[in-house]
Chain A
Amino acid sequence: MSAMDHDDDYMNEDDDGDDYTQDTQESWMDQDDDDDEDVEEDFGAGDGFEPVVADRDIKKGYQVEFEVHSIDDIVAFQTQEVAHVAGILGCRPEHAATLLRAFKWNKERLIERYMENPEDVANQAGVVMDADKQAVFSKSADGFECQICYTDDDDLDTVALHCGHRFHTECYAHYLQQKICEEGESRRIQCCQSKCTAIVDEATIEKLVPPDVLTRYRMLLIRTYVDDSVHLKWCPGPDCEYAIKCHVPQNQLQEVVPTVRCKCGFTSCFGCGLDDHQPCICILVKFWLKKCADDSETANWISANTKECLKCQTTIEKNGGCNHMTCKKCKYEFCWVCAGPWSDHGTAWYSCNRWEEKASVEARDSQARSRKALERYLHYYNRYANHIQSAKLSSVLLQKTAAKMEALQSTSTLSWIEVQFLRKACDVLLEARMTMKWTYAFAYFLKHDNMRDLFEDNQRDLEMAVENLNELLERPIPGVEGTGTLSTQNSSMSLGGGGVGIPTTASDPRGAPLSPLSKDISSASIPGTATPPPAAGAAVSVEEGIRVLRQQVLDKMGYLKTRREVLLTDTAQGLREHRWMLNVDLKTGVVNE
């Protein structure tokens, strides 16, 4: 029944996707009204970027649209934008480029402002649009002294920008090199003269600096293009040179997790730049990581497991014995149960009858609350940490899988391409583990209501699918396990991520598989474990065993993928509908238990 619901959700995805697009576009417009400085306007037609309309239909509800661009693409975009603006304004490309950089590549705004007041715009950007007023290279005239090197020889090579401040060419080159190589400056290198705002344009720099400096200058310019654009970010993957374009604005991050996958294979969150953290939203990820990193939980442990001496405030942990406590430090005697002074207890040493005293009740309540909070945190943290641990052990699983794939190829007639399903299953498993990990962080911040119950139902189904597939991948392959290399591998297999505790078991009434598909799978017995492995010569039955195994892996993998998608789609939809009630203040990060 529940599975049916999920199917419905699943079917509605396309609609949701459209809603989402509309929502975001509306909010962009709002933003524009509010804030003229914003750069969103360039999201119109003809901005040089081809929207990926073709992909839209196959995007899932929890996915966002994005494009991956190489450095060459970015250079091409810039060139295109510059040419376009230069054409409209009727100016030289290097000046159009300077103007665009001054406006952070917001073409619409630049053109609008420029049409209102060309002089002002040009002045502020440090450009003179007059084509005759270019940088002038000339020999020094009588009485010239370079204000940088104080040389006043005749016949010096000099250069002046349109502002007329003339310097020795060599000094200018030296100055540019300092700016580019030492200070990493590129788009706003000004004239050497103090307080002169004229910008040294690309064409002039080209004539003045050596090739290696020019290369660096160009690289810096490309970087500023990506840094200036709110829709572009560099892929955070190691050594990756691709940039990712995604149109999810910062103010949408509480409703969307913009996971992007670079061409280099690295999956990250466009919003915060961390590794993919579906389905948990950025802000909660931040709180969660902070909480895990802080020793705030140490304090929680102390308050849950210890009491303070009422007299000298020393922290005391009771690790045995009766309730008559004597502080080692100040010799104060008190009752552990009610926290009141021992002298009030008379001779009732082993049974405190002062339980109901108001002071005692309050002391116990606050302890109980912090104990409960700690337990709640640990519940989620342990499961979160387990998936991290299992993911770390994934290299072992991958190694073993590679060995299995080789063994399969050598013992059966299966070809390389036919054993790839094992590798694929490993990838799916790892991906699901990463999702699982963040579901626990997300659930920690959810208020306890029916919605959280539904979320945790989905979570449990996914957890079970993960463990089922993991178990299957850890299992020796019937007929192939006899080979020497594999049996040694097998002994180390128990390390491979099998150690994750499943929070709910099949005995839990709520834990029963919800979909008919999962029932089939869990009830399917694995041949080869029930029956002794076939003799080495019985190639046909080995083939048969492998065929069955392959089918099982594919089934469980498919099921796992479905469960993951159901969970992610439903969570994403819930975020858009504001269905999840959070127990945390998003401004302060304070959790109300």
Chain B
Amino acid sequence: MALPKRIIKETERLMAEPAPGIQAIPHDDNLRYFDVIISGPAQSPFEGGDFKLELFLPEEYPMAPPKVRFLTKIYHPNIDKLGRICLDILKDKWSPALQIRTVLLSIQALLSAPNPDDPLANDVAQHWKENEQDAIKTARQWTAQYAHA
């Protein structure tokens, strides 16, 4: 099926002016599938790490949200061990006026501001709530161990 104009234009713009700290490149053989790399935001426990993600635009896009998943292991209360992300705009708060760029920026923001009150990974969230310093330490270790190229 021909790619909708929206996806073509959006990809062009994304390549022309990428968001800082975010790289998203479509596959040659499937323009709906993107390889994404997000750099860990400064002053976060993920600083210095490069996190790989996959992003897929489903048939209904942009009426339905893109599917996004972390491929790099990450110690974060809103991201589980399969890399699934708990983020409202990826679910019921999706709007067709949002784009790949805004989604990835929101994920980057989530790395800066973990929300242990709305957890996906319960054990991590528990850790974060009970001993934030210790949890951040673990997150740093994981970043060093898994997110360095």
B87 at the interface (CB under 8 A from A): no
In the bound complex, do residue A147 and residue B97 qualify as a contact, i.e. CB atoms below 8 Å apart? yes
A192 at the interface (CB under 8 A from B): yes
For window 162-215 of A, CB contacts with B under 8 Å fall at 165, 167, 171, 174-175, 178, 182, 190, 192-196
A314 at the interface (CB under 8 A from B): no
A538 at the interface (CB under 8 A from B): no
In the bound complex, do residue A148 and residue B60 qualify as a contact, i.e. CB atoms below 8 Å apart? no
> Which chain B positions have C-beta within 8 A of A147?
96-97
In the bound complex, do residue B97 and residue A150 qualify as a contact, i.e. CB atoms below 8 Å apart? no
B137 at the interface (CB under 8 A from A): no
Distance in angstroms from A581 CB to nearest chain B CB is: 42
In the bound complex, do residue B5 and residue A148 qualify as a contact, i.e. CB atoms below 8 Å apart? no
Distance in angstroms from B61 CB to nearest chain A CB is: 10
A149 at the interface (CB under 8 A from B): yes
In the bound complex, do residue B6 and residue A148 qualify as a contact, i.e. CB atoms below 8 Å apart? yes
Distance in angstroms from A124 CB to nearest chain B CB is: 17
A151 at the interface (CB under 8 A from B): yes
B9 at the interface (CB under 8 A from A): yes
Distance in angstroms from A143 CB to nearest chain B CB is: 16
Across the interface, A149 reaches (CB within 8 A) one of B4, B64, B93, namely B4
Contact A149/B6 with A175-B96, A194-B89, A194-B95 known, Cβ cut-off 8 Å: yes
B98 at the interface (CB under 8 A from A): yes
Across the interface, A192 reaches (CB within 8 A) one of B6, B89, B97, namely B97
Q: How far is the CA of A147 from the CA of B93 in the complex (A)?
A: 17
B133 at the interface (CB under 8 A from A): no
Across the interface, A178 reaches (CB within 8 A) one of B4, B60, B93, namely B60
B123 at the interface (CB under 8 A from A): no
In the bound complex, do residue A174 and residue B10 qualify as a contact, i.e. CB atoms below 8 Å apart? no
Q: How far is the CA of A132 from the CA of B10 in the complex (A)?
A: 36
Across the interface, A171 reaches (CB within 8 A) one of B10, B60, B64, B96, namely B96
Across the interface, A150 reaches (CB within 8 A) one of B5, B63, B98, namely B5
> Which chain B positions have C-beta within 8 A of A178?
60, 63-64
Across the interface, A194 reaches (CB within 8 A) one of B6, B10, B93, namely B93
> Which chain B positions have C-beta within 8 A of A174?
63
In the bound complex, do residue A150 and residue B10 qualify as a contact, i.e. CB atoms below 8 Å apart? yes
Residue of A nearest to B13 (CB): A150
Q: How far is the CA of A288 from the CA of B42 in the complex (A)?
A: 59
In the bound complex, do residue A148 and residue B89 qualify as a contact, i.e. CB atoms below 8 Å apart? no
Residue of A nearest to B9 (CB): A150
> Which chain A positions have C-beta within 8 A of B95?
190, 192-196
Q: How far is the CA of A461 from the CA of B4 in the complex (A)?
A: 76
Across the interface, B96 reaches (CB within 8 A) one of A151, A182, A192, namely A192
In the bound complex, do residue A182 and residue B97 qualify as a contact, i.e. CB atoms below 8 Å apart? no
User: Which bucket holds chain A's interface residue count?
Assistant: 10 to 19
Contact A182/B60 with A149-B6, A150-B9 known, Cβ cut-off 8 Å: yes
Residue of B nearest to A196 (CB): B95
B44 at the interface (CB under 8 A from A): no
For window 1-49 of B, CB contacts with A under 8 Å fall at 4-6, 9-10
In the bound complex, do residue A148 and residue B102 qualify as a contact, i.e. CB atoms below 8 Å apart? no
In the bound complex, do residue B93 and residue A148 qualify as a contact, i.e. CB atoms below 8 Å apart? no
Residue of B nearest to A177 (CB): B63
For window 107-137 of B, CB contacts with A under 8 Å fall at none
> Which chain B positions have C-beta within 8 A of A182?
60, 64
Q: How far is the CA of A510 from the CA of B1 in the complex (A)?
A: 82
> Which chain A positions have C-beta within 8 A of B96?
147-148, 171, 175, 192
Q: How far is the CA of A149 from the CA of B6 in the complex (A)?
A: 5
In the bound complex, do residue A150 and residue B6 qualify as a contact, i.e. CB atoms below 8 Å apart? yes
Distance in angstroms from A209 CB to nearest chain B CB is: 13
Residue of A nearest to B12 (CB): A150
Q: How far is the CA of A148 from the CA of B97 in the complex (A)?
A: 5
- Looking at A149, A150, A167, A175, the one whose CB has the most chain B CB atoms below 10 A away is A150
Q: How far is the CA of A190 from the CA of B95 in the complex (A)?
A: 9
- Looking at B5, B6, B60, B102, the one whose CB has the most chain A CB atoms below 10 A away is B6
In the bound complex, do residue A151 and residue B5 qualify as a contact, i.e. CB atoms below 8 Å apart? yes
> Which chain A positions have C-beta within 8 A of B62?
148
Distance in angstroms from A524 CB to nearest chain B CB is: 69
- Looking at B63, B89, B98, the one whose CB has the most chain A CB atoms below 10 A away is B63
Residue of A nearest to B7 (CB): A150
Residue of B nearest to A174 (CB): B63
> Which chain A positions have C-beta within 8 A of B98?
194
Residue of B nearest to A183 (CB): B92
Q: How far is the CA of A150 from the CA of B98 in the complex (A)?
A: 12
For window 67-102 of B, CB contacts with A under 8 Å fall at 89, 93, 95-98, 102
Residue of B nearest to A165 (CB): B97
Q: How far is the CA of A171 from the CA of B63 in the complex (A)?
A: 9
Distance in angstroms from B99 CB to nearest chain A CB is: 8
Distance in angstroms from B97 CB to nearest chain A CB is: 4
Q: How far is the CA of A147 from the CA of B5 in the complex (A)?
A: 12
> Which chain A positions have C-beta within 8 A of B63?
174-175, 178
> Which chain B positions have C-beta within 8 A of A150?
5-6, 9-10
Distance in angstroms from A195 CB to nearest chain B CB is: 8
Q: How far is the CA of A198 from the CA of B35 in the complex (A)?
A: 35
> Which chain A positions have C-beta within 8 A of B64?
178, 182
> Which chain A positions have C-beta within 8 A of B89?
194
Residue of A nearest to B95 (CB): A194
> Which chain B positions have C-beta within 8 A of A190?
95
> Which chain A positions have C-beta within 8 A of B6?
148-150
Residue of B nearest to A176 (CB): B63
> Which chain B positions have C-beta within 8 A of A192?
95-97
Q: How far is the CA of A149 from the CA of B102 in the complex (A)?
A: 16
Q: How far is the CA of A192 from the CA of B97 in the complex (A)?
A: 6
Q: How far is the CA of A167 from the CA of B96 in the complex (A)?
A: 10
Residue of B nearest to A151 (CB): B5
Q: How far is the CA of A195 from the CA of B88 in the complex (A)?
A: 11
In the bound complex, do residue A149 and residue B97 qualify as a contact, i.e. CB atoms below 8 Å apart? no
Q: How far is the CA of A149 from the CA of B63 in the complex (A)?
A: 10
Residue of A nearest to B94 (CB): A194
In the bound complex, do residue B60 and residue A149 qualify as a contact, i.e. CB atoms below 8 Å apart? no
> Which chain B positions have C-beta within 8 A of A193?
95, 97
> Which chain B positions have C-beta within 8 A of A171?
96
For window 447-491 of A, CB contacts with B under 8 Å fall at none
Residue of B nearest to A191 (CB): B95
A–B pairs, 7, beta carbons within 8 Å: A147-B96, A148-B96, A149-B5, A174-B63, A178-B64, A190-B95, A194-B95
3 cross-chain pairs, A with B, having the tightest CB-CB distances, nearest first: A194-B95, A178-B63, A150-B9
Interface residues of A (CB under 8 A from B): 147-151, 165, 167, 171, 174-175, 178, 182, 190, 192-196
Give 7 A-B pairs besides A148-B62, A151-B5 with Cβ atoms closer than 8 angstroms.
A148-B96, A149-B4, A150-B5, A167-B97, A193-B97, A194-B95, A194-B98
